[in-house]
Amino acid sequence: MKLSRRSSWFLLAFGAWSWVIWVTFVKNLWKDGSGLAFDDAGDPTAYFWVHLTLAVTSFLLGTAVGVLGLRGVRAHRTGAARQR
């Protein structure tokens, strides 16, 4: 299967955006002072574990999508270099 240049860049940007968003989310989750992520004893709550699992899953999916986009962008660049 061959991705278009536009699709490749979109996938690459989506992968990068996913990392930016979820890294910020995990930092905020770790510093949570509202009592949702950590109980009074400082132990992680179910809220913390669920959201950490969502973040890790999103990191993995964002990485996979970004790698597909990167491979597509590289394929277009090498294809364009061969045509010259």
pTM of the model: 0.80
Cα separation, 54 vs 38, whole angstroms? 17
pLDDT digits (tens, 9 = 90+) for 3-21: 899 999 999 999 999 999 9
Residue ranges of alpha helices (H) inside the chain are 5-30, 46-83
CA–CA gap between residue 25 and residue 40 (Å, rounded): 21
pLDDT digits (tens, 9 = 90+) for 11-57: 999 999 999 999 999 999 999 888 899 999 999 999 999 999 999 99
- Residue-level pLDDT at 14: 96
